[in-house]
Structure 1
Amino acid sequence: MRLVIARCSVDYSGRLSAHLPMATRLIMVKGDTSVLIHSDGGSYKPLNWMSAPCTLKEDGDIWTVTNKKATDTLRITIEEILHDSDHDLGVDPGLQKDGVEAHLQELLAADATRLGEGYSLVRREFPTAIGPVDLMCRDAAGSHIAVEVKRRGEIDGVEQLTRYLELLNRDPLLSPVRGVFAAQAIKPQARVLAEDRGIRCVVLDYDDMRGIVDESQPTLF
C-alpha cells in the first residue's frame, strides 16, 4: 500500500461530477489498484475514490486515475507532497466474525429458505479474489445469490457485498449473481443504498432461528 499526504485538489468525472478544493489530504493507493482520498475526519469513509481495477498515471503534478471498466476519471492535482511511503501489509486473514454473526451464518446455511422461497445453499465462505462471500445460494430458478450476513447491517456491509457482486458477475459461469444483505437490524441508510443497487434486504430474527419462543407473547394454541 502506498500512502501519500499531500496538498491537493480532486476532480471526479463520470456518472456524476465532484470537486474537492485544495487542502491537505491522505491519498491511499492500495495493492488491488484502488485509489482513495481521505481527510482527517469523516470516520472511515473516503471523500472520493476509484474502485479496482483501475490505472494510476502520474504526469508531474497531475495524477489521473481511470477505471478499466468504465469511463470514470479521478484527477488529482498535487500542490505539495508532505509524505510518500510504501508498505507491504502481507496477506490479510480476513474479518473474524463475532459469535452471533457466525451462528447466523450457520443457521442460514442449514435453512437457506429463510432468505427466500426455494433458496438452497451452494457453499459457505464462497472464495473470491477479494475475500470469501458468506453464503452462495441458488434461488428456485437456479440463479446464483451472494449473501452477506451481519449482526448489524450498515453501509460498509452493503459496500462489501457490492464489491463481491461486481467481481462475481465477471464470471460467465456464475453471472448473473444477485445480492441479499441479511442482518438482525439494518440501518435505514444501508437499506436505501442496498435497494438502490438492486440488493434485497432480509431482517433476521435470531431467537426464532434458534427455536427460542417468547412465552410472554400470546399464541393461538
Structure 2
Amino acid sequence: MSDTSTFDAADAAHREIHVALGGSLTATDVGALIDRASKQVAECDAFAAEKAAAASDATLPTRDALVAKQEADALTFVALRLRNLMPTLDKRLAVERDGEEQRQRREQHGQAQQRVEEIAARVRKDYPKAVAAILDLVAEMGKANAIATDANRNLPRDVEHVPSVETMIGAEILSRLHLPALDGTIAHEMTGDANEAFRTELWNREQRKRGEEWSRLSPAASLRAVS
C-alpha cells in the first residue's frame, strides 16, 4: 500500500468511524472500529516515518524533500485525527459493554422472577392437597398401629407380634430417602450407617413396647416389677 492510498484509507476510516459513533452500535461493533482505527494509525505512522526520513535526506532535491515533508505531515495529521477518536471509542465501548451486561442481568432476573412465580402458583395449588394426603396417611398409620396393639394383647400361640407400620416400612423408605431443599438440590440422603442406626432404634423401640405390653398383660410380671 502506498502512502497516498494509506492516507485515503485513514481519512475514509476517520469519516466512517465518526458517522458510526452517531448511530446504534454493539460492543462488538465498537471493538471492530477500534481495531480499524489502530491499524490505520500504525500504517500512517510507518509511512510518515519514511517520508520524514526522505525529507531529511540532504541529497534529495529541495522540491522533492518538500513534497516528502508535506506527505509526512499529511499522514501524521490524519493519524492524529484517528488517535483523537480513540478516547471516544474507548468510552463508547465501555458504555456498550455495560449496557449488554445489564440487559443480560435483566434477562436473568426476569427469568428467575417468572420461574419463582410459576412455582409459587403451583405450591399454592398443590401444597395443601399434598399436606392433606400426608396427614391422612399419618392418621391411617395411627389407626393401623392401634389395631396392631390390640391384636398383640391377645396373641395366639406360636405367632410373632404384629409390627407397627413404622417398623415394617420405615427403614425401607428411609434407606433411599431424598429430602429436596427449596432450591431443588438434594439436601439429605440417609447413609448406610444412619440407616442401620435407624433400624436398630426401631428394633429397640419395638422391644420396649413389647415389654410394656407384657408387663400390663402379665400380673406376675407386674408383681415382679413392683417388688
TM-score, normalised to structure 2, is: 0.19
TM-score, normalised to structure 1, is: 0.20
Higher relative contact order (CA 8 A, sep 6+): 2
Relative to its length, the structure with more strand (as a share) is: 1
Q: Which of 1 and 2 has greater Rg?
A: 2
